[in-house]
Structure 1
Amino acid sequence: MVRLYTTELNIGYGERSIVKNLSVNIPDKKITAIIGSNGCGKSTLLKAITRIIPHQGGAVVLDGEDIAKENTKLLAKKMAILPQTPESAAGLTVGELVSYGRFPYQKGFGRLTTRDYEVIDWALEETGTKDFKFRAVDTLSGGQRQRVWIAMALAQETDIIFLDEPTTYLDMAHQLEVLELLQKLNVEQQRTIVMVLHDINQAARFADHLIALKDGEVVKTGSGEEVICPEVLKQVYSIDAAIGRDPRTDKPMCITYDLIKA
């Protein structure tokens, strides 16, 4: 089933075109990873799909409606986004930050209701951050902070969560912790997860569906088996990759690679 898709999407900054005539489907209740080299348009695509930036042509369609025409609060009840570098939460406690996820549901003076507090506590519980509720966000480790931001997205109660490089600046253990949390949300709560990832082995391990971009255009979409292969990686990254199998998951894995020189 596909609730969210783009048709001939064009995105640019001024005269510069970043994404060109891009049409992709985002499978519902699955994990989708967008991969590609630096500057290929991954983050730009994510921002356009979530209406953070406008697009110059084509459409982003969710539940049969063009999101460009959707009411902002209504759209915020359907999709949440965790940007690559979240805004500073200096001076906020964890509970206060997570409460911002309830903004689409607030009316009048924006006071939190009993229902809001219940959802906030649930989001903290699901992300393993309840013990931090009254701690300042800026006193937490990188992995803890990332889980708190995910809790804020969960508190938004959306079916779809977008994340732009959620493992950036995290060590190996915290990267795995965050990705396993997202996988848990997908499996146990049927959340649709869409994320930009730099690590292709993480993408192959955790994503059901991959979108490989180069210069703002789709090179290949499909499963890890279809995308993480020498031919596609040669086109996307200009590398000669040796692909094996992950001994624990049996997913495709880039073991080593060489640059392909012009």
Structure 2
Amino acid sequence: MIRLYTDDLSIGYDDRLIVKDLSIEIPDRKITTIIGSNGCGKSTLLKAMTRIIPHRSGSVILDGGNIAKENTKTLAKKIATLPQTPESSSGLTVGELVSYGRFPYQKGFGRLTKRDYEVIDWALEVTGTQDYKYRPVDALSGGQRQRVWIAMALAQETEMIFLDEPTTYLDMAHQLEVLELLQKLNSEQGRTIIMVLHDLNQAARFADYMIALKDGAIVKAGNCEEVICSDVLKEVFSIDAEIGRDPRTNKPMCITYNLVKEPQK
């Protein structure tokens, strides 16, 4: 089932066109990872699909409607976004930050209801951050802070969560902790997860569907076996990759690689 897709989407900044006439489909209730080299348009695409930035032409369609015409609060009940480097106001406690996820449901003076508090506590529990509820966000480690931001996204009660490089700046253990949490949200709650990842092996390990971008265009989209292969990685990253199998997941993985050398002239 496809609830979210783009149709001939073009995105740019000033005079520079980053993405041109891009049409993609995001599988519902699956984990989709987007890979590509720096500057290829991954983050730009995510921002346009969540209406953080406007697009120049084409459309982003969600549940049959163009998101450009959707009411902001209505859209926020369908899509939650975790940017690459989220920032919060200094001095906020974890509970206060997570409560911001309830904004789409607030009316009048914006007071939290009993239902809001129940959802906030649930989001903290699911992400394992309930013990931090009254602690300042600034006092947390990188991995703890990232889980709190995911809790805020969960508090929106959306069926789709977009994440731009959610493992950036985290050590290996915290990277795995965050990705396993997202996988759990997908498998147990049916959340559709769309995320940009730099690590190819992590992208393959946790994805049901992958999109490889180069210069704002799709090189390959499909399952992990179709995308994590030497031909695709050579075109996307200019590397000569040796592909094997992850012994624990049986997913394809990049074992080693060399740069593709340009022929001598």
TM-score computed with the length of structure 1 as normaliser: 0.99
Q: Which residue of 1 aligns with 2:98?
A: 98
How big is the shift at 1:5?
0.2
The AA in structure 2 aligned to 1:206 is F
The AA in structure 2 aligned to 1:104 is P
204-213 vs 82-91, greater mean Cα deviation: 82-91
How large is the Cα RMSD of the aligned pairs? 0.5
How big is the shift at 1:104?
0.3
Q: Which runs of 4+ in 1 moved over 6 A?
A: none
Q: Which residue of 2 aligns with 1:203?
A: 203
SS in 2 for 1:109: coil
The AA in structure 2 aligned to 1:58 is G
| CA distance in 1 between partners of 2:213 and 2:37 (Å) | 8
| CA distance in 2 between partners of 1:223 and 1:20 (Å) | 23
How big is the shift at 1:13?
0.4
Q: Which residue of 2 aligns with 1:123?
A: 123
| CA distance in 1 between partners of 2:105 and 2:3 (Å) | 22
| CA distance in 2 between partners of 1:100 and 1:52 (Å) | 17
| CA distance in 2 between partners of 1:143 and 1:184 (Å) | 17
Asked if 1:139 is matched to 2:176, the reply is no
The AA in structure 1 aligned to 2:13 is Y
Aligned length: 262
Q: Which residue of 1 aligns with 2:161?
A: 161
Q: Which residue of 2 aligns with 1:82?
A: 82
Q: Which residue of 2 aligns with 1:110?
A: 110
| CA distance in 2 between partners of 1:242 and 1:89 (Å) | 45
TM-score computed with the length of structure 2 as normaliser: 0.98
Is the Cα–Cα contact under 8 Å of residues 88 and 97 in structure 2 kept in the other structure? no
How big is the shift at 1:261?
2.0
Asked if 1:226 is matched to 2:226, the reply is yes
32-41 vs 83-92, greater mean Cα deviation: 83-92
How big is the shift at 1:111?
0.4
| CA distance in 2 between partners of 1:62 and 1:217 (Å) | 21
**Structure 1: runs of 5 or more not aligned:** none
| CA distance in 1 between partners of 2:51 and 2:196 (Å) | 16
Q: Which residue of 2 aligns with 1:254?
A: 254
Q: Which residue of 1 aligns with 2:238?
A: 238
Q: Which residue of 2 aligns with 1:32?
A: 32
**Structure 2: runs of 5 or more not aligned:** none
The AA in structure 2 aligned to 1:253 is M
How big is the shift at 1:123?
0.2
| CA distance in 1 between partners of 2:241 and 2:103 (Å) | 46
Q: CA offsets, 1:202-237, max 9 Å, x none?
A: 010000000000000000000100000000000000
SS in 2 for 1:138: helix
Q: Which residue of 1 aligns with 2:12?
A: 12
